[in-house]
Chains A and B, each alone.
Chain A
Amino acid sequence: MAVLLLAAESDTQGHDTKKVLTAARAVGEDVDILVSGDDVNNFASLLAELSGVRKVLCAEAPYLKYHLAEPLAALLFSLSGSYDVFIASGNSTGKNVMPRLAGLLGVSQFSDIISVLSPDRFKRSTYAGNVIETVESLEMKKVITVRSSSFLPYGLGNNRQRATIEKIFVPEDPCLSRLISQVDRAGHDLSSASIVVSGGRAFGSEKAFKELLEPLAERFGAAIGASRAAVDAGYISNDCQVGQTGKVVSPELYIAIGISGSVQHLSGMLDSRVIVAINKDSEAPIFRVADYGLVGDLFQVLPELMKVL
């Protein structure tokens, strides 16, 4: 089966793409990667080095720069004759574009799969991570987004044969939408970060949150998260909230500091690979899901942690 993997231009190091590649290779042997933007040469050469890739297709046009859904879905659709499977990371671009492509193709889409059982069978989580569903696709063409944190990077240590890079024809901009501006948030993105450091009510003040949590996150190269209690108390803005009503994250490492671990918070981070909990109360529910628990006062533990790192 021929698989087309849509790489996100923002994934400059290719970390995310390598994980999506693992899922793609489980679905089909022949995997091509599509990169799109206004200048994608460097990114394309980086991806051509990955093992397990047949070709890297480059689509260059000024209006592809910001990955707006309409031109990108039209581009993918123009390639649909050559591929059986379209796959992308379940990041904000993948979620925006892939269902539109599925709509254009008139096929179903599988969102945020967490494992590939066979080329037609996938697992995905629903109900805020409380239910795992096994689905079977009956489609000739498949459109899939991948929860990349559920997959390991592909092909480490394999023989590498450089993939060919090919420039491709780009369809016209449908001109249904246009970019006005884009502001990138300072710091690491919560949904895609590989390490998340989260704080709860126990910080007691916005000041403590800033002075203790921020440097720690910076040291780890981590994104900052928060419990609902911390958001409601005004320690940090609500776009940092992790939980059922906030963001659902599944990083490599999740460090919960001063968070008791309510059900609503847990369902937002339970898929993290390794969970660390730091809390004063040894009975806190967070310790039931933590791989490593440290009972202690965060005001002592965090400065110490900064020294050891």
Chain B
Amino acid sequence: MKVVVGVKRVVDHNVRVRIKKDNSGVELINVKMSMNPFDEVGLEEAVRLREKGCVKEIVALSIGESRVKETLRTALALGADRAIFVESHDFLEPLDVAEVFKRVIKSENADCVILGKQAIDSENNQTGQMLSALLGWGQATFVSSVNIENGEVIVSREIDSGIQIIAVRLPAVITADLCLNEPRYVSLPNIMKARKKNIERKTLADLGVFVSSRYKVLKVEEPLVRKPGVFVKSVSELVANLRKSANIFWETK
């Protein structure tokens, strides 16, 4: 089975982001970037499936400016066999990203796509679902375990009320939840080996994708600062405040 894994280059999750003075976006110059944590988990799962013998080849895919090649290099060091870099200097909406993935998957003739459930920058949680709609494939989102059996992928999904286990017919799109696995660290020998692996460059035009703006970001701003709170002196004062001024009721048993 051939798997395509999507990896996005995002602001590192430890960085406290700053907003540009003109409120047009988030400051990205001289900010530490790294692989989206959910994508790391997705990639790790692909590598584990290969170690189990379910997967033959892992192709890492990333879209963006030339720096995303660094992220692809990391993916190669973590176990991807080869990489595809789709160069784009435009802002791509999730549907555009899904369209790019669709074209690559068709030309690669892949059987499965593994993505993170969301990117920690835009927090959309859309690309995998959109992609499976575009491909007409089944989807297994927010997964916390993956098994491949008899042409189906059996997954546990993290849903609000608990755990749901479903079987999705292959080919399929899988999106990883954080609890799916613990990604391995990159080792030095693997970094050296990754240098020899191939990163193929494509452009949006090569794939026949045209970026269409379907929405505009008008403004970004800091969240509202919370009003300063008060210290209460006792438990009973706290409870009285919650019932009255904060207007919170709970069913007493």
Which A residues fall within an 8 A CB radius of B?
A: 10, 66, 68-70, 73, 91-93, 95-104, 106-112, 121, 125-139, 175-185, 189, 191-192, 195, 218-222, 238-239, 244-246, 252-253, 263, 270-271, 273-276, 282, 287, 289-295, 301, 304-305, 308-309
Q: Is the CB of B164 within 8 A of A10?
A: no
Q: Does B131 contact A (CB under 8 A)?
A: yes
The docked-state distance in angstroms from the alpha carbon of A274 to that of B243 is 12
Q: 18 pairs across A/B with beta carbons < 8 Å?
A: A95-B142, A98-B129, A99-B125, A99-B129, A103-B132, A126-B122, A126-B220, A138-B213, A176-B168, A182-B159, A183-B164, A253-B242, A263-B16, A270-B223, A273-B246, A274-B248, A292-B232, A295-B231
Q: Is the CB of A180 within 8 A of B167?
A: yes
Q: How far is the CB of A183 from chain B (nearest CB, A)?
A: 5
Question: Lowest 8 CB-CB distances: which A-B pairs, in order?
Answer: A103-B133, A176-B138, A99-B129, A103-B130, A99-B126, A185-B162, A108-B214, A184-B162
Q: Is the CB of B140 within 8 A of A177?
A: yes
Q: Is the CB of A276 within 8 A of B242?
A: yes
Q: With a CB–CB cut-off of 8 A, which chain B residues contact A103? A: 95, 98, 129-134
Q: Is the CB of B160 within 8 A of A91?
A: yes
- Please judge, given known A-B contacts A110-B215, A127-B123, A177-B139, whether A92 and B250 are in contact too, CB under 8 Å: no
Tally of contacts, chain A with chain B, CB under 8 A: 252
Q: Does B221 contact A (CB under 8 A)?
A: yes
Q: Is the CB of B26 within 8 A of A221?
A: no
Q: Interface-forming stretch among B45-53, B76-84, B196-204, B233-241? A: B233-241
The listed residue with most A CB atoms (<10 A of its CB), out of B16, B133, B217, is: B133
Q: With a CB–CB cut-off of 8 A, which chain B residues contact A129? A: 223
Q: Is the CB of A239 within 8 A of B158?
A: yes
Which residues 205-253 of B have a CB within 8 angstroms of A? 213-224, 226-227, 229-232, 234-236, 238-239, 241-242, 246, 248, 250-253
Interface range on chain B: under 10, 10 to 19, 20 to 34, or 35 or more? 35 or more
Q: With a CB–CB cut-off of 8 A, which chain B residues contact A221? A: 250-251
Interface of B is mostly: mixed
The proximity string for B residues 132-159 relative to A, scoring 1 for CB distances below 8 Å and 0 otherwise, is: 1110011111100000000000100111
Q: Does B94 contact A (CB under 8 A)?
A: yes
The docked-state distance in angstroms from the alpha carbon of A252 to that of B134 is 38
Q: Is the CB of B222 within 8 A of A137?
A: no
The docked-state distance in angstroms from the alpha carbon of A178 to that of B218 is 41
- Please judge, given known A-B contacts A183-B163, A238-B179, A239-B158, whether A130 and B16 are in contact too, CB under 8 Å: yes
The docked-state distance in angstroms from the alpha carbon of A247 to that of B251 is 25
Q: Is the CB of A292 within 8 A of B229?
A: yes
Q: With a CB–CB cut-off of 8 A, which chain B residues contact A292? A: 229-232, 238, 241-242, 246
Q: Is the CB of B95 within 8 A of A308?
A: no
Q: How far is the CB of B180 from chain A (nearest CB, A)?
A: 12
The docked-state distance in angstroms from the alpha carbon of A103 to that of B214 is 13
- 4 new A-B contacts at CB < 8 Å, known A108-B215, A180-B167: A111-B126, A175-B169, A184-B162, A246-B178
The docked-state distance in angstroms from the alpha carbon of A177 to that of B174 is 12
